[in-house]
Amino acid sequence: MRRIINFVALALGVGVLYAGLTTFEVWRVGGSDGPVAADAIVVMGAAQYDGRPSPLLQARLDHALLLWEKGVAPVIVVTGGNQPGDRFTEASSSAAYLESAGVPPAVIVQEDSSRSTWEAINAVRQMAWTDPLLRGAATYIFVTDPFHSLRTRLIAEENGFEATTSATQTSPMGAGTAFSKHVKEGLGVAAGRIIGFETLWKITG
């Protein structure tokens, strides 16, 4: 019985250490930035309110706009579907916002069916074979919030992308909310690395 207790205690200790180190990595990656050049920028979706990006989504779009204006990539991909009853998708709201900021519609690609990070990145992977603006693109920068950067990059790599992330530094999240998000993402990344992020998405949605 003592051996069993010691084994369980050791397993729990290793699990806690693994989750803690992963959470630290989530924080570290969120503070890093992408390369100076890529073929496309992908903006991860967030909530929209009747065609108007939420503050969280707007912060991501503003960061993507800054990268595009610097010439980091010629194409911006916006992602995200809608909830039942919504008149607009996250992607269409994002596209309209970027267009109002001066981005030509001709360089914006919309992925407008996804409802999760996995679905969005998987859909962009499929579009990379069919969309004229993405055909031949080899390198991608994924724009999201700091807490979401590591999971986004790992899901992109699981989908075969040569990917980096560039996190917005103007997220409206308060310190307490951001901390809880980092911890939650740390647990999610820790699980995803063990069972695969597609499997994790199928379990959690």
pLDDT at position 177 over 90: no
Query: Phi/psi zone of residue 77: left (φ > 0), alpha (ψ -120 to 50 degrees), beta?
Result: beta
Mean pLDDT of the chain: 89
Distance CA 19, CA 89 (A): 34
Domains in the chain: how many in total?
A: 1
Of the pLDDT bands very low, low, confident and very high (cuts 50, 70, 90), residue 199 is: very high
CATH number at residue 196: 3.40.50.620
| Residue-level pLDDT at 8 | 66
Choose among 106, 143, 105, 97: nearest CA to 124. Answer: 143
Q: Which of 25-34, 66-75, 92-101, 126-135 has the lowest mean pLDDT?
A: 25-34
| Residue-level pLDDT at 181 | 87
pLDDT at position 89 over 90: yes
pLDDT at position 18 over 70: no
Distance CA 205, CA 201 (A): 5
What's the rounded mean pLDDT across residues 173-186? 82
What's the rounded mean pLDDT across residues 114-121? 96
Whole-structure pTM value: 0.88
Q: Which of 87-101, 126-140, 178-192 has the lowest mean pLDDT?
A: 178-192
Q: Which domain holds residue 23?
A: 2-204
| Residue-level pLDDT at 123 | 96
| Residue-level pLDDT at 44 | 97
| Residue-level pLDDT at 29 | 76
| Residue-level pLDDT at 9 | 66
pLDDT at position 110 over 80: yes
Residues making up the chain, counted from first to last = 205
What's the rounded mean pLDDT across residues 47-58? 95
Of the pLDDT bands very low, low, confident and very high (cuts 50, 70, 90), residue 27 is: confident
Of the pLDDT bands very low, low, confident and very high (cuts 50, 70, 90), residue 83 is: confident
Distance CA 173, CA 2 (A): 46
| Residue-level pLDDT at 4 | 75
**22-49 exposure pattern, b = at least 16 Cβ within 10 A, e = fewer:** bbeebbebbeeebeeebbbbbbbbbebe
